[in-house]
Amino acid sequence: MHWQTLDATPFLPPLYWRAMLKRKITGSTLPAHGLRCEVNVNPRNVAAYRKVCGFADSPLLPATYPHILAFGVQMQLLTDPSFPFPLLGLIHLSNRIRLHRPLGGVSHLWINVHAQNLKPHPKGATFDIVTTARDALGLLWEAQSRMLCRGVKLEGAATDAALPTPTHVSELTRWTAPADIGRRYARVSGDYNPIHLSALTAKLFGFPQAIAHGLWNTARSLAALGEHLPAAPIEIDVEFRKPVRLPSDVTLLASAAGSSGEWLLKGAGEIEHMVGQWRPIT
């Protein structure tokens, strides 16, 4: 892997313009380079993120917050001319977070982003966006976001592995995903994907209503789980199933607090929006 070091966090507007212009698949090979950038943690931005996602005040960053710090670097990679797939239309299937140490006392981090693991899928092809965050002591946090690009044809057997649906869970809490949560989350994350902003912009991409960001669903769930989860080191897996249409009422069901467990986010009519697991890093 060849690493390119960025001088500063990427400026997002030109990257969104690139994303809008690229609408076709241009290849079937992931770029052999990754991007590296030093980012700073702004306490005011963290506070705004906590408010939108429901996290309580804490000296520790939320487990999902490094995704926010890395978003511009991820966008830079995914809109690079060497990247073969159009960003708009990619489907976020699942996410894995590995928190190696508590996210306390963090003022700046080195963020690394690259893509790997291109595989055939029944509906196209999947790949992983791999993001790591390091401080002066070494690896602190890492995540793998599995993405689906429809219409890609690769040789080999197509697979579609899935997390099991949780069975030993009970209701923990409920909340409403309001109609404006996509816009509110976009303001704290920088992620202005049209499918999340309004019914009008979502319809341009085949959705009858705007849908909540998958990472907002994840963050809101982790905020509600709170002390249910053990401290680092911990691994968190989530799989996105049916999107949360806005506005919607959802219910979070979880197993008992402990070193490992699982949860389920459900909507009206027993719709399964998301399943998740947590476990110690071994």
The architecture that CATH gives domain 1-161 is Roll (3.10)
Domain 1-161 matches domain 162-282 at the CATH topology level: yes
CB distance 248 to 210 below 8 Å: no
Residue 51 has phi, psi (to 5 degrees) of -65, -45
Q: Tens place of pLDDT for every residue, the chain, 282 residues?
A: 899 999 999 999 999 999 999 989 999 999 999 999 999 999 999 999 999 999 999 999 999 999 999 999 999 999 999 999 999 889 999 999 999 999 998 999 999 999 999 999 999 999 999 999 999 999 999 999 999 999 998 988 887 778 999 999 999 999 999 999 999 999 999 999 999 999 999 998 888 999 999 999 999 999 999 989 998 999 999 999 999 999 999 999 999 999 999 999 999 999 999 999 999 997
CB 128 within 8 Å of CB 92: no
Domain spans of the chain?
1-161, 162-282
pTM of the model as a whole: 0.95
CATH 3.10.129.10 fits domain 162-282: yes
